[in-house]
A and B are shown apart, each in its own frame.
Chain A
Amino acid sequence: MSHQLRSELLKLRTTRTLALLLLAAGAMSLLGVSVEALSRDLDTLAPEDAQRDLFSSGVTVGVFFATLAGLVAVTSEFRYGTIRPTLIVEPRRRVVVAAKLVAAALAGSAFAVMCVGVTFGAAIAIFAVRDVEVALSSAHTLLLIAGPIVASMVSAMIGVAVGTLIRNQAGAIVALAAYALLVDAVLFAAVPSVGRYLPGKAGDALAGRPDELLLAPGLGAAVLIVWALALLAAATVRNDRSDV
């Protein structure tokens, strides 16, 4: 397992994909947070809820990109055929998937660190320039830092599971984007009592988004982990049986 994990981590470090995704995540966090923090009126920025909303919009970018990174890590093995040399060297497929999960979780935490850092850095700097007091309580600050880290790690593993299930890289990315932009948002808007149990919304809750209709952060974490386990179970069945 540790040998395969070192191999998987080296895979992530030896192409540009992960670095580019990290940069893209950081740039999107920066853009989103800056536009909001610069454009809003001073009095609408002052309440704690407004600031939580602003910060969480920046940090949740990392959760989405962590999912994407997990997805791409698996599907690029199928896209370029490197899954064959991988499985010829280590034919125990569950060992390979387990190593990919751990590697993806570690990479996922990097996305959270990137986006939390960018969000806090940009927002606090802009607040200072605009003379807005940072009103976040220490509990909410902790949630906005620790929540995205846990959510990104679990979501990156969800990405690995979805990539194992779908395999086709373009198809998997389209499915993820369609899910995140449509299914999650539409169902939550239409029937929030159900939609809040979807993985995207559970992740939002965990990442500290202040929305009365979302689950509590702890419950969000539990729901997200249940989703991850369910998808992993399905992925394991597919992974054990399918030809490559």
Chain B
Amino acid sequence: MSGGIGGGESGVPETLLDTKGQVHGFTTTNAAVNVGANDTIIYADSAQAAGIGYGASAKSTLATTGSLLAASSANTLSELSASATSGHVLTSTGAASLPTYQAVASGGQIELIGTATAGVPTGRKSNWLSGTLTPEPNMETTYSELIVIANLYYDEATGFGECYINLNSTTSGYGDAHGFYYDGSSNTNLSKSNGTVAFITDANLGESTNEGIHTYTSIALNDATTFMYNFHTYSTSSSGTSMILDTTCDLASNTIDHVKLQASLASWATDSNITIYGRKMI
């Protein structure tokens, strides 16, 4: 049989498609449409004589591991490359532009600054975290709050006594501590005076052998001109007594490089621990 598809003289000539990859199209007559570049695909395209043409596909656009497919303009595929820095997140740069990878905003995040666990501190009035804190918290520019969490246990018959915090080895400028405690039956107002440390508990919080206390102390720079800090401590003991104490201190510095936690009577027992966090300024 002679002729192309359909046969006869009115059919498509066999010589219409003579190149690898060509497909059969139609303009006003039968026509060959040449194959596009590798990994491109056929789109309907009224601007083309045959009404179809090859264009970029997802496969042809994404040439690099980790890239994402994005639109750089209307109906235009674009390769959004992965960030060169691990941990960066995709962030919008506005409604009409490609997003970009950027570092996570750190404002408001809580960052671990230092920790110590039992076994290290021994003996009465042990000093914890008396070395330089890293990073050294700057309470005026970097951290809005320093959080000291302590879980303390003691096993001496002498009782726990008072507990206090000393910052930067400063032994002056501390204000009186005011607050109250609740022992399960009544509230009692409490005022403690001292100029050398900041009280975070009173002796009434823990007076029994094998008792444990948990304290949460928030420290914030109240006045950057005078370097006045506010201390606010919540504490509770395993005997059921709870306590709140507020104190102030003029540290003469906007940075804190030392935190010492001390008890006036007992030694810290095994498993006692202290952790210091900084809340990043927004």
Specify whether A and B are partners. no
